[in-house]
Structure 1
Amino acid sequence: MQINRVALDLAKQLIQVHAVDLSGKVLVRKPLRRTQLLPFFRELVPCEVGMEACSGAHHWARQLQAMGHRVRLLPPQYVKPFVLGQKNDANDAAAICAAMSRPEIPAVTVKTIAQQDRQALHRIRSARVAQRTALVNQTRGLLAEYGLVVGRGRGTLRQAIPELLEDAENGLSLDFRQLLAELYDELVVLDARVEQLTGRIEQQVRQEPDTQRLMQIPGIGPLTASALVAAIGDATQFRNGRQLAAFLGLVPRQHSSGGKARLLGIHKRGDSYLRQLLVHGARSVLRTAANKPDDRSRWLVNLSTRKHRNTATVAQANKTARIAWAVLARNEPYRP
């Protein structure tokens, strides 16, 4: 019998393989080491291969596509309901194979090397920003233990630390002064690292037409434009702008029954980093909307008077995502 579908449950070393024929009969059910996976597929006639969209999935998808196989990356939340019995590698692979038979399950588009490079740049910058924020909070907390309260903000702390180190009458011991100086040096290094990574992102944005068009949209800056192109790639994978907004978690959750529709808050699925950037951009748009006479600004101001300010912010983020889809999918500039 010829293999029709192959499901892979990925891991670092052992990868579980579950292969079936056209009738659904199991032909292969065994684990393979990483070094054995590609030779296994070289011996197969091109078929459909399914994996969860998890760590390493895009790498394997590119390798298998180069061999002529058709690869489907499935969202893990849609695979979980197909697991029968207890959780183990064999049952997980069987669940992936069962989910592959459902064409209505949306597939994740395989990312290119360039997209992964850009996402890695954003992830590293985000991690450095989180480290810097943690360092600032830790330093302010330690100073408070000595009765020295520093105002909020990274800039305030950077300005205050040298003054505290020079003040001989503030009661700080020699040991803590040395620790405080080391924390200050670490903060300066993290600031420089974040600025360097931000500069690299801005340089990439200036060289690409897609990101240049996205930056014409109110509420989208260099970081958001770069992150959108890295996460979405080909916008035509979404049928319309609402699908992109749903992919980013900017549409309401639904809890309906008996024909009664009930809409809740946004479901917050998808890329939380990208959603955060869009919401921050929407806040800036809302802040300046009162001074602008265009229709979009009047709509936003009117909405903010009828609804909570956060509701209006998310509504603007949703609108920004839809406009971004139109700009990318239709390959045209933003029209105010």
Structure 2
Amino acid sequence: MSFEPTTVGLDVHARSTTACAICGPTGEISTIRLSSDHTQILGWLTGLATPVRVVYEAGPTGFALARTLTGAGLDCVVAAPSKLQRPSGDRIKTDARDALHLARLLRLGEVTPVRVPTPAQEAARDLSRAREDARADLMRARHRLSKLLLRQGLLWEGKNTWSWAHHDWIARQSFTDPALQAAFEAAHEQVLMVRDRRDRLDEAITQQAADPGWAPVVERLRCLRAISTVTAFGLATEIGDWHRFTGSSIGAYVGLVPSEHSSGSRRVLGPITKTGNTHVRRLLVEAAWHHRRPYRQPTREMRARWERAPAAARSRGHAGNHRLHRRWARFDERGKKPSVAVVAIARELAGWCWALAVVQE
């Protein structure tokens, strides 16, 4: 048995997989085209010189292949596509070359792995993202309906849009033109259907968040203002293992740190990187806006949340709420643009969420 591993790169697609192996003892390269069947891929890998290390890029095919190979005792790494080094002069791209490139990077130790969630964790994350999709669909449906009414000179003059009063006002509208009436009814029906879908997903998230696997983290995150059950569950499912990060590194993971282009004695900071998890970044920025309002005493709802959390989490959450509002106040005093200030608040909010997630009971 050789102590130099055989590294295998897999270029995985929905219907086919191209595999390239670099033999550990000899350095011989072999390439084969396989189907997407995991049994066939595993059978070919087990025929290689051991030990075998496998890598493929994270993508739409998910993590089922990684779980299959890991369950069979193989060392399988799922690579972060954005972290893969590619030669700037390489202008030829094929499945075989991509697989060989992955095998070489793995052999050199230049692959940045992503976390492979368990099936239960991935299912919970899919639930959270389904709710995110419903939120976006509802926003688009409302926009289409409101603009249809606006083109007819109908504008809601009430205080709160999309309240029950607003919905009653929309339901009372009617048009004499049959084509316009049909378009209005279709747009209104779409808003109601998507809203009901979002509400059903909210109920499912509330039930899932009470599961012992998620409840401790969710309850601790809810000690912060603007972190509801839906937001806390979304953060918990997307981050997964909070102990991978520190209070300062988690901001970089979600792309909330400034980009930098420095050379010599010249240091230039640009806009935020916007790398990493976009879902977490949106949740944090949305929650950061709420900390602009003054925070003096915890509300009745906040006290109810605190009763379900450990004492250490309550104390840390209370301190975080005060700190984040003071930061907002200082930004406003300095005349900082709100769209810029909210990103800084979101970056610090990420640190407070990390502190609550890893706090000891």
Please point out which of 19, 24, 35 is paired with 1:33: 35
Matched, 1:106 2:115: no
Query: Equivalents in 2 of 1:273, 1:158: separation in Å?
Result: 29
Higher helix share: 1
Query: Equivalents in 2 of 1:24, 1:211: separation in Å?
Result: 51
Confirm or deny: 8 A CA contact 1:17 1:30 kept in the other structure: yes
Please point out which of 153, 170, 178 is paired with 1:161: 170
Please point out which of 298, 310, 331 is paired with 2:326: 298
Confirm or deny: 8 A CA contact 2:84 2:111 kept in the other structure: no
In the alignment, which residue of structure 2 is the partner of 1:271?
Answer: 277
SS in 2 for 1:154: coil
Displacement of 1:327 in angstroms is: 3.1
In the alignment, which residue of structure 2 is the partner of 1:184?
Answer: 188
Query: Equivalents in 2 of 1:243, 1:57: separation in Å?
Result: 26
Confirm or deny: 8 A CA contact 2:7 2:104 kept in the other structure: no
Query: Equivalents in 2 of 1:65, 1:102: separation in Å?
Result: 21
Query: Equivalents in 2 of 1:153, 1:9: separation in Å?
Result: 49
Query: Equivalents in 2 of 1:10, 1:50: separation in Å?
Result: 10
Query: Equivalents in 2 of 1:142, 1:251: separation in Å?
Result: 40
1:219–1:318 Cα change, 3 Å: farther
In the alignment, which residue of structure 2 is the partner of 1:70?
Answer: 75
Cα deviations by residue, 1:97-150 (Å, 9 ceiling, x for unpaired): 232244465321111112211121122222222222222222233333434344
1:226–1:102 Cα change, 3 Å: farther
Number of positions where the alignment pairs a residue of Structure 1 with one of Structure 2: 326
Q: Which amino acid aligns with 1:9?
A: D
In the alignment, which residue of structure 1 is the partner of 2:309?
Answer: none
Query: Equivalents in 2 of 1:164, 1:331: separation in Å?
Result: 53
Query: Equivalents in 2 of 1:174, 1:57: separation in Å?
Result: 47
Matched, 1:60 2:60: no
Unpaired segments ≥5 residues, structure 2: 299-318
Query: Equivalents in 2 of 1:71, 1:241: separation in Å?
Result: 29
Please point out which of 323, 330, 337 is paired with 1:308: 337
Q: What does residue range 184-223 of structure 1 map to in structure 2 within 5 Å?
A: 184-207=188-211, 208-223=215-230
Question: TM-score, length-normalised on structure 2?
Answer: 0.81
Displacement of 1:274 in angstroms is: 1.4
In the alignment, which residue of structure 2 is the partner of 1:168?
Answer: none
Displacement of 1:69 in angstroms is: 1.4
1:24–1:154 Cα change, 3 Å: farther
Displacement of 1:24 in angstroms is: 7.8
Query: Equivalents in 1 of 2:295, 2:97: separation in Å?
Result: 53
1:236–1:291 Cα change, 3 Å: closer
1:107–1:24 Cα change, 3 Å: farther
Cα deviations by residue, 1:174-197 (Å, 9 ceiling, x for unpaired): 343244233323322211110110
Confirm or deny: 8 A CA contact 1:282 1:313 kept in the other structure: yes
Cα deviations by residue, 1:255-293 (Å, 9 ceiling, x for unpaired): 111242221121111121211110111110122348899
Displacement of 1:79 in angstroms is: 1.9
In the alignment, which residue of structure 1 is the partner of 2:290?
Answer: 284
1:24–1:210 Cα change, 3 Å: farther
Displacement of 1:172 in angstroms is: 3.0
In the alignment, which residue of structure 1 is the partner of 2:253?
Answer: 247
